[in-house]
Structure 1
Amino acid sequence: MSAQETTAATLIDGRACAERVLADVERQSQALRQEGITPGLAVVLVGEDPASQVYVRNKMRKAEAVGIRSFEYRFDDTLKQAELLTLLAKLNADPEINGILVQLPLPATIDEHAVLQAIDPRKDVDGFHVENVGGLIQGRDALAPCTPTGCLQLLKQQCGDLAGKHAVVIGRSNIVGKPMAALLLAEHCSVSVIHSRSVAPEALARQADIVVVAVGRPEMVDARWIKPGAVVIDVGINRRQQHDGKTRLVGDVDFASVALIASAITPVPGGVGPMTIALLMHNTLKATRLQHASAESLALF
């Protein structure tokens, strides 16, 4: 069953939500330009990974579409770590650059952690610098990772006030799982995190009003994991081989079974994915305002 077929669950439209975020970013970037400020986003790509090239191209196009000036830096996988760190130091010092994103994964010869920590936390639009991670955990207004923040906006759109709801996050990655749990705690949810060492994970997940799945395993979570009426956010995006030899995109959730009992669910594609780029644009605009100490607050959410 495809995500487009009608089911018991409401489909949470990530594309429509992303368009609303982008429209607000475009409006506010125009207001900044009237103040003489043009937001600038630098994207650094090292290597020839095909998926990364597509992601970077899409990010650059979207930035230009909403009035954010884009700067692209491409290198082959022979780039040395010291050279990359030198570039980041220049971008940190460049007043025309308000956001810096280093596309992951990096070649094995480069220390990913060292690179991410070399980015000025005020320009860290991916939200991976330890200063931003700590700010998120402490509930400060830090730059937060784009994908979990996008998930949160989809949940708030669907559920309204999240306070008091029991949320289960399946997966504990630094990119999605851990920041997702912190964001849900900030919304006053009761939060459980399920991972590979959890005992009776299906039983734990069945207690939840909200389930966010980010494990990178195609269709792992089926109806046995979900309480009837729960809201399900599927962060996964995987290619699965079909009998005819073609591939199709699937999430980490078995859509066909879960959509029969959930009250709402994100499709794959068209759910979380569009929100990630929209929140990258939002973070770039937020970073610009912080750096210029603009009197007008960025109040998209």
Structure 2
Amino acid sequence: MKRVNEDNVKEAMRGGGIKLTLPRFNDELLRKQITWDGWIRWGSFTTLAAIFVWFIVLNPVLGAGSSGLVMILLIMGWLGLNSINAKTGRELAQVSMVLDQDPKRAEGWIALALARKPLLRWVRLMIYHRLAIVRHREQDFAESAAICRGVLEYSLGPAEASRAHLLLILTEASLEIRDMGTAYSSLSQLYGMKVSLVEALQRLSLQIRYEVMTGNYGAAVANIESKLELVELLPAMQCGIVHRLLAIGAERYGDRELAERLNKRAWLLCGDKVIRGIGEDIANSKGMTMVGGEKGLNLGK
């Protein structure tokens, strides 16, 4: 294993056989990174401002030639300060596509991007958002939950629209590790905000899973026909999984006829092997996660 530096990251992304060491997430490291980003940016702005003031005061003494040189240096300094964020911001959109095709390459880019300084806070937080997606797809749910909790403590600025996706990942990861308190809290936040249709479908799926896992079977099968109309909009695999969860809820609620109907639909969509995998141990769905999972709907932004 090798530590992260630009040469190692580039070799790993080319498939050079190097395994990178990304440290486990912790809130303190994120706080320090954001603090250092702020101090470096503040120091850079202060330096540029001081040079500008010095230029204004001494302009008559320096002459036209020196004045032009100072202005060029100021412009270059300003562009250099913002070029890192501009480059990283452009790459954020590209890495979302790489997440599906080559997760290891995406992780290499994340390692390289996290080492850059100074970054705007929202840019750094969105890099961690991509890392949360990678860890979630690797089924390292404790790590993806920790990343989401840490990122959600901050304002996301221009990337505030990603808050819903972070909450969806946190909800599902919490269900996987049986942290029902966090799952309830994140679901409550999701129902208090405006979300897209895709996010609303994922939210409903996770709500049903939460209710079945906590034994609230009556709530799970309440307004069942309205729920099924929405569930049918999900991809086939997810749709079948939710039907199976509802069937478990209906059976335990005592509605055998409804449970049989839902199980038949789940079997048609998923097949017998998947249906058997979602039984007594509802928390462990064999990696068939609803959000950003290997067989789930890609919500990466």
TM-score, normalised to structure 1, is 0.28
TM-score, normalised to structure 2, is 0.28
* Greater C-alpha radius of gyration: 2
Bigger fraction of residues in strand: 1
Q: Which has the higher contact order (CA 8 A, sep 6+)?
A: 1
